[in-house]
Structure 1
Amino acid sequence: MARQERAEQTRKAILEAAASRFDAVGFLGASLSDILTEAGVTKGALYFHFKSKEDLADALVDEQFAVSEPLSAIEDPGLQTVIDLTYEMAAGLQSDVRVRASIRLVIEQGSFVTPADNAYKRWIDTIHGCLLAAKAAGDLRKEINTHDLAQFVVASFTGIQLSSQVLTGRADLKERVTFMWNTILGSVVPPRRLHRFTSTSGSTAMESASV
């Protein structure tokens, strides 16, 4: 058990160091030697856990989906679930270097041997499933195409977090997400249903599900 714990601590140290470097300088700018130095591990230890820098990057790209794990505990996911999910991601981008690194790596997908376009598809599919449930519950207008809306939400959030990063270091990201949802909700939700949704950051159903 002690050996397994040490191995897990080493893997965590490598991922933290890789995230720090990828977040700071991107995939191409980060060198394995810098990652090794920051992690304080040997090259052998790194290659025990990861085959290459690309393998490290792929592991970090997967990190961002931890945000959506509480979805499985929500009995009736829907539109509010999607809103909450974007706030959870915004919080992660503000506070978690692994989430920031994973998002930067996805945006820089052209740097990879294997492009990370599956990350976009995975988010679209996750949100699409929630929107299908929302439409079945009558929370979306009948003319709304749920897959198109899922793509729009992912694209909108991606653009918002990028502009927030450039202009304020993401300090205003949650406010920008609120504006995004205030703009979207009036266009896609029947007026009689608008009162059901909260477009501001706060305690979410996802947070309750993860407790």
Structure 2
Amino acid sequence: MTGATRVRQERAEATREAILDGAAIAFDAMGFGSTSLTDIAKHSGVTKGAMYFHFQSKEALAKELMTMTTQFEATPYVARYDVPGVQTAIDLTHEMAYGLRTSARVRAGVRLVIELGSFTEPDPTLYNRWVESVRDMLAQAQGRGDLKPEVGIGDLAVYVVGAFAGVQIASQVRTSRNDLKERITDMWTWLLPGVVPPRRASRFLPAGSPGLWEAIDALESSG
């Protein structure tokens, strides 16, 4: 690869990232239906021609942001778990809650997922990806005896994803998500006794593991 080719690729990637950032700001503020390509271009600082080079439509931009948001297995801290389980699922929701408070991309992606009805044909794929990721974590937990044997892990995964979605919306409306960490902690505090055997209950921290918050603190310090 020549130096000139490398420079062109770096510029193209920088433009693509700028478009995604601009789209996230616009979608986060106005939602899918009220956001125009002109709005995205304004927030991105690029021309419409540049946008069309990277993304063929507003829908393509929205789907890219949603896909990025729902790739739970790739999140910075949770991806380091060697043996996923109940605490992984807890930490995952707290990590997502942190992202909602600090990242326009995460906020936009979650808003777009919730607003799937804005599309002509709503697609359950992204919700299903969330559910599958959580279900995989819970399946490993049940295999180790960390979940009661009578718990249906598929149903529980659907409930966790739905509960998180509802809790974050209520927090957004009531406090602009300033209390989201506390509300997610409450969610797990009430849920765990119903699904975890009493002898295992002390293993899990509804407020998130120390390692998660250490990683987040380090991320904030480096930023």
The equivalent of 1:184 in structure 2 is 191
Preserved CA contact (<8 Å) 2:188 2:206? yes
Runs of at least 5 residues in structure 2 that lack an aligned partner in the other structure: 1-5
Code of the residue aligned with 2:183 in structure 1: it is: R
C-alpha separation in 2, matches of 1:77 and 1:206: 17
1:4-57 C-alpha deviation (Å, 9 max, x unpaired): 111111111111111101000100110101111221111111011000000010
Preserved CA contact (<8 Å) 1:74 1:206? no
Alignment of 1:121-140 (within 5 A): 121-140=128-147
Note closer, same or farther for the CA distance 1:66–1:121 as it changes in structure 2 (3 Å cut): closer
Note closer, same or farther for the CA distance 1:93–1:120 as it changes in structure 2 (3 Å cut): same
How big is the shift at 1:65?
A: 3.1
The equivalent of 2:23 in structure 1 is 18
C-alpha separation in 2, matches of 1:113 and 1:3: 36
- Three-state SS of the structure 2 residue aligned to 1:199 is coil
How big is the shift at 1:201?
A: 3.5
Runs of at least 5 residues in structure 1 that lack an aligned partner in the other structure: none
RMSD: 1.8
Identity within the alignment, %? 50
The equivalent of 1:171 in structure 2 is 178
- Greater relative contact order, per chain length (Cα 8 Å cut-off, separation 6+): 1
Q: Does 1:75 align with 2:82?
A: yes
1:76-128 C-alpha deviation (Å, 9 max, x unpaired): 11111000100000000000000000011011101124424211100100000
The equivalent of 1:151 in structure 2 is 158
C-alpha separation in 2, matches of 1:147 and 1:11: 37
C-alpha separation in 2, matches of 1:72 and 1:92: 15
Q: Does 1:36 align with 2:41?
A: yes
The equivalent of 1:87 in structure 2 is 94
Code of the residue aligned with 1:69 in structure 2: it is: A
C-alpha separation in 2, matches of 1:72 and 1:39: 30
The equivalent of 1:53 in structure 2 is 58
Q: Does 1:118 align with 2:119?
A: no
Preserved CA contact (<8 Å) 2:31 2:112? yes
Number of residue-to-residue matches in the alignment: 209
How big is the shift at 1:2?
A: 0.9
